Chain A
């Protein structure tokens, strides 16, 4: 039997990035994936005969450049071209849409000249401020207790970057950092379509409304990501998100990573406070010096390690991680491409957003606080088969949408609520793309409850924990343990539940691997 230095639990993109990075550093690494294929929430799957779709994550916005570089993903099949950058289209029921072209609106069309110039300024400011935060993505959160020289220097660089902003800009940065996105937009913009789009993007994937303080951070998080070297750029990967994972997998296998699928882990074996191996559902035991969990932190600590090996306070903190998903995923197999009113052909290949105004997004958010879904949901729609015909039969079309707000703990239960929610979504779609309802061959709606069940993501939360200010940086996954290591020696966390959080970035996996290497694990 082969012995391994490190076992990575979970073959999602972060697990694969961590595994590949460790393997490149000379470790013998085994990845254990519960499902029959790797990729986690970044897979491409068949959902209807002849129709394929990116199963959960569908737009690439933040694959970290260090990941691309370290793992040489472009050599392993990842294709990113500037021409693939997709526009964002803010749909409007009663008029033409507003479109952000290029990398998050380098050019804005569909609005007044004055709005265009205000946007240009605001965009530059948002990019500047997001840029200040960007270096934090690829480092472990600052350890406030005992900072190493390198860490202090890194923080010093941030301070320097702040100073470089100039006094007034720095003041504004500090003022708006924890603001709500709606107020900031109201201060500067006039066009409610643009405001609606930005409000939606800021709150996408979180349990916040645009009026919730700190919601602006969500927009910074988005804009701190980059694609093909362009901040804020977004694209639909050819072949779906599974193609990105395939590239990471290829890089890992090249470096010697062994991958076992259909190998769900039942338990992490702890001896004298140290993780020494894992037991599979099958009963098979595998031992290694280092265990890396790229699955949800609560599932790792509570289910795989179990409370008996961990202190009560830590258990409390883990249980307090808020991770109730609020987004659903919709997949439609359409017999023909839909026609969204007023949107041109290029626009249909873009990201079509239904979020008519910040107030609308806020109103959609309100019911989710009480365990109800929004009767007028907001959503981000893509039609990936338009740019990648391999995803649908000829002449047919795939629609993939992230829909908010869909609270994990729906009061009436998702069994009863799901058909109603689907109806509300279809009604909303119908009003923007008349006739779409008649073209549906098959509809698949994944509620947070489905996502939890199908993707082993507790709460159905794609960030493995709310990405809000109090669960970021030093507080992610829990305060006192933000450095990827855990109270169990030899056990590390490498998933989206760790800093910096979710999205197909690979950053948690990369940072964790770097930390493991630094700790000689």
Chain B
């Protein structure tokens, strides 16, 4: 495709001027979320007003693990990628083999620049042989458009027009079934299908960011509120609760999942050369498919592997004690700085003190003994400094059979 300027008519442009009055947009679900927001604890998610918590961040976490939690993912960046060359295009852009992604399936993937540095990770939904949806943390339109030169494909940013919900937790399947989404029981992990809703369709995939049984639902923005109502109504007896990001963030950490620009810096945002990360440096090396054809960064990734130029490794840590080691420095033999914790918590499900950390190789890679973290814990307005032993452990930190059970259970 060619560079199609995405210029708008001056009339449409002028009509859009007033956005400056609303610095934090509401999502299509905002009226319902506002009504539930008892804590009024908001944060800025890509320009949207998103809840940190709605009523109690700890209990919201337990809603994920015990019942069903509803989380608004509309602010996530979404691109529609469609055309005869869509598969070939995505195969060139992303690390995994897209030809193996069948219609009706989803996979978690990542994409790199020429130097093999990760631009972002995200989920790729194959809606049909020629139609995909790519969801990610950051925005990539120029990169996608420039990557599309020479491919017959249309790329459209659809963040605002498509609303998204994550329905996660043990009763999430029952909620969907009771809401009348016939056939939803057939969805295996990473399957997706379209279901009728409110005179239109909703795309439901058995995916999520919690390591639990769960689904994600995408609808046109104008059908968002009716979808919410439908789920809330059917979920009432199954303990459905709307939740904020803090609870979700805990669940994702237990699941060992990473977040762009929290656990690593994406290449288009890295000012300093040492912040750039290759897939192998953030635990995404498994995505790199050398059997498929050419893809962005292949040459650099191969070169770095061959020349042993990988500099970092992302690891799961289990830390002694129960104090979360958030943003703690990791030491070897208590004195040599070797890395930094990017996320940490006491895991209620694992009953372990867990963390994700970025370490400079060989630490965390071939040298995993004698690692320590330096935790500063605030105790009545004073920091107490703790030096705690850390052990490199496998991720995910928890593994729940219900996540993958077929057919899914009611709870």
Give the residue name and chain of the A residue nearest to B88 (CB): A308
On whether the beta carbons of B299 and A319 are closer than 8 Å, the reply is no
B142 (CB) vs chain A CBs: closest residue: A316
A311 engages B150 (CB within 8 Å): no
Docked complex Cα distance between A270 and B299 (Å): 14
- B150 in contact with A487 (CB, 8 Å): no
Q: A313-B113, A313-B114 are in contact. Are A308 and B143 (CB under 8 A)?
A: no
A314 to B300, CA, bound (A): 12
> Is there a chain B Cβ closer than 8 Å to A282's Cβ?
no
Report if B296 contacts A (CB, 8 A): yes
| Contact indicator per residue, chain B 222-238, by CB within 8 Å of chain A (1) or not (0) | 00000000000000000
Interface Cβ pair total, 8 Å cutoff: 46
Q: Could you tell me the distance in whole angstroms from the C-beta of B391 to the nearest C-beta in chain A? A: 38
CB distance from B86 to the nearest CB of A (A): 13
B150 contact from A270, A273, A302, A316, Cβ within 8 A: A302
Asked if A307 is an interface residue, CB under 8 A from chain B, the answer is yes
- B147-204 at interface with A (beta carbon < 8 Å): 147, 149-151
Interface residue from B114, B143, B151 paired with A314 (Cβ < 8 Å): B114
Q: Given the complex, which residues of B lie within 8 Å of A273, measured CB to CB?
A: 294, 298-299
- Chain A residue contacts of B149, Cβ below 8 A: 302, 307, 315, 319
Give the CA-CA distance A309 to B115 in the complex, in Å.
15
Cα(A202)–Cα(B219), bound, Å: 62
**8 Å CB contact of A312 from B88, B293, B296, B299:** B296
Which single member of B113, B151, B293 contacts A311 (CB below 8 Å)? B113
Instruction: Determine whether A389 belongs to the interface, using a CB cutoff of 8 Å to chain B.
Output: no
Assembly CA distance A273 to B297 (angstroms): 12
Q: Is the CB of A309 within 8 A of B114?
A: no
Q: How far is the CA of A426 from the CA of B158 in the complex (A)?
A: 56
Question: A314 — nearest CB in chain B belongs to which residue?
Answer: B114
- Cβ A312 vs Cβ B150 within 8 A: no
Distance between Cα atoms of A308 and B153 in the complex (Å): 13
Instruction: Tell whether B93 is near chain A: CB-to-CB under 8 Å.
Output: yes
CB distance from A478 to the nearest CB of B (A): 11
| A306 CA to B92 CA, complexed, in Å | 12
In the complex, what's the smallest C-beta–C-beta distance from A45 to chain B, in angstroms?
A: 34
Query: Is B58 engaged at the interface, CB distance under 8 Å to the other chain?
Result: no
Question: A315 vs B148: C-alpha distance in the bound complex, in angstroms?
Answer: 10
A316 to B268, CA, bound (A): 15
Query: Chain A residues with Cβ under 8 A from B294's Cβ?
Result: 270, 273, 308-310
* Residues A316 and B299 in contact in the complex (CB < 8 Å), given A308-B88, A308-B294, A309-B294: no
> CB distance A312 to B298 under 8 Å?
no
> Nearest B residue to A316 by beta-carbon distance?
B146
Residues of A within 8 A of B92 (CB): 307-308
In the complex, how many angstroms separate the beta carbon of A479 from the nearest chain B beta carbon? 11
> B88-109 vs A: 1/0 string, CB under 8 Å?
1000110000000000000000
A308 and B299 form a contact (CB under 8 A):
no
With CB as the reference atom, state the residue of chain A lying closest to B89. A308
Beta-carbon contact of A307 and B296 below 8 Å:
no
> Considering only CB atoms, which chain A residue lies closest to B3 in the complex?
A319
Quick one: CB contact mask for A204-248 with B, threshold 8 Å, 1 for yes? Answer: 000000000000000000000000000000000000000000000
Contacts of A311 in B (CB 8 A): 113-114, 296-299
Nearest neighbor of A307 in chain B, beta-carbon distance: B150
Q: How far is the CA of A307 from the CA of B3 in the complex (A)?
A: 14
The docked-state distance in angstroms from the alpha carbon of A332 to that of B299 is 52
With a cutoff of 8 Å between Cβ atoms, the chain A residues found around residue B88 in the complex are 308
Assembled-state Cα–Cα distance A325/B98 (Å) = 41
Given known contacts A273-B294, A308-B294, A309-B294, is B299 in contact with A315 (CB within 8 Å)? no
Chain A residue numbers with a CB within 8 Å of B146 are 312, 315-316, 319
- Complex Cα distance A288/B299, Å? 22
Bound Cα distance from A309 to B295, whole angstroms: 8
A319 to B2, CA, bound (A): 12
Q: Return the chain A residue nearest B143 by Cβ.
A: A312
Which residues of the partner chain B approach A316 to less than 8 Å between Cβ atoms? Answer: 146
Residue of A nearest to B150 (CB): A307
* Nearest A residue to B290, CB-CB: A272
Given contacts A273-B299, A487-B299, 9 further A-B contacts (CB under 8 A): A273-B298, A302-B149, A306-B150, A308-B293, A311-B113, A311-B296, A311-B297, A313-B115, A314-B114
A-B contact pairs, 29 of them (CB 8 A): A273-B294, A273-B299, A302-B149, A306-B150, A307-B147, A307-B151, A308-B88, A308-B92, A308-B150, A308-B151, A308-B294, A309-B294, A311-B113, A311-B114, A311-B296, A311-B297, A311-B298, A311-B299, A312-B93, A312-B143, A312-B146, A313-B113, A313-B114, A313-B115, A313-B296, A314-B114, A315-B146, A315-B147, A315-B149
Closest 5 CB pairs of A and B: A313-B114, A307-B150, A311-B114, A312-B147, A311-B296
Task: List residues of chain A with CB under 8 Å of any chain B CB.
Answer: 270, 273, 302, 306-316, 319, 487
